[in-house]
Structure 1
Amino acid sequence: MAMIEQIRNRQGLLLAMIGIGMLGFLVPYDAVLALMGQGAARDVGSVGGESISAIDYRMEVDERRRLGFSGDQLQDEVWADLTANIVLDDTYDALGLEVTDAEFQEMLFGTLDSPYMGRAFYSNGENKTFWQQNFGAMLNTDEGKMNLLSYKRLIIAKRKKEKMDALLSDALYTNSIEGKYDYINTEKKAEIKYVAKLYKNINDDEVSVSESDVKRYYNA
């Protein structure tokens, strides 16, 4: 009875502790650090002198999961996307590389070939039909429109990267001279005659190794 009475007397403190414990499950740790002014100091990396905070990284991972993406490679993919955007954004602007609204619509509802769309959404005919209907239905509600904007941001970033990769691929080629010498080196043949002798059958006094030989082997 005495214990029950003590619990009653400290009911307020107990409720506060339970509330704090529940808050720890509901509120991400990074968000708590941000409220305490410590989030900016927690960087997970930097690219080209530009830092990527733990909060930004975690928010992007959570956003992808909210949109339905999952898998063991999700965090690696998010990191690759964040770093690629930092490195390539200025290059995109300099080249005038962009994705128009018409192109975005064609990616969703048309026949424009996009490796990312094929991999993430349209892996087969059934999936393509489902996602096209899903994207269309998003236009009917405010929440759906917000989700579509999130998908659009991701898809456009992926499409820009695809265009950049295509430009780089087209810029690299093998000329006729390189092709000629590659063929010659591939087809070149040589005959070699040699005599094999077991290592254990070679006496130590038959082979001399100088200090210069050892250094040359070590530095090779």
Structure 2
Amino acid sequence: MDENSPTGLNKPLAIGAVIVALLLGLVVGGALDIGKSLFGSNPETVASSALQSMRAQNRLVPFVARYVSVVSSRQERLGGLVSAERTLILPGDVRYELDLAKLEPEDVKWDAATRTLAVTLPEIEIAGPEVDLAAAREYGESGVLSAVTDADSALDRNNRARAVADLRKQAGTAVPMRLAREAGRQAVERSFSLPLQAAGFGDAKVVARYPTEGSPVTVPLDHSRSYNEVLDEAAQKQR
């Protein structure tokens, strides 16, 4: 047969395709063997190895949010004849964390009948806020009381304490907490699913739940006002 004919050209290509397929099979099979050697040959062993790895990470930060607090304080003397007022606009970042060290072996259970790994998570913890002092803005009315006393300093201290408390309050409301829980759940489920898949248990399901909350997020978080919008509103109040 003429090697220059179309049939002659297709023969080496077909042989090459077979070789590539065999090599891919060896690679995939080798990867599965490596996965089993690293993580174990049964789901319980894989889950135990993944648990120890996650506990070693200590803390997971699945969600971070920024909030803006606007607070005002007013001080009056002499029955309101003299007064001082200060307004503070303070942004701050809040981290939502999972303490993975709290995960215990009894929190991870394998159901062979449904091929499901159930994980009970520790509750989300709020860390912060980390206030952004460089972006903070303060406004006030100059008056007799400000000139003759330390009213401005006292009002500023009061505003900062109230602003930090307000940032914490915003962070703990239902919607951001639900979003943080969902982000934490998804991150932990991935952390268990990946080693299971690497060990050849691709059909295994991982379901992570909190003791007090387990439903997925169905309501999107409303977009908050931007920091510039808050500044513009505060500036208009001063006019």
TM over 0.5: no
Q: Could you tell me the TM-score, scaled by structure 2's length? A: 0.18
Q: Could you tell me the TM-score, scaled by structure 1's length? A: 0.19
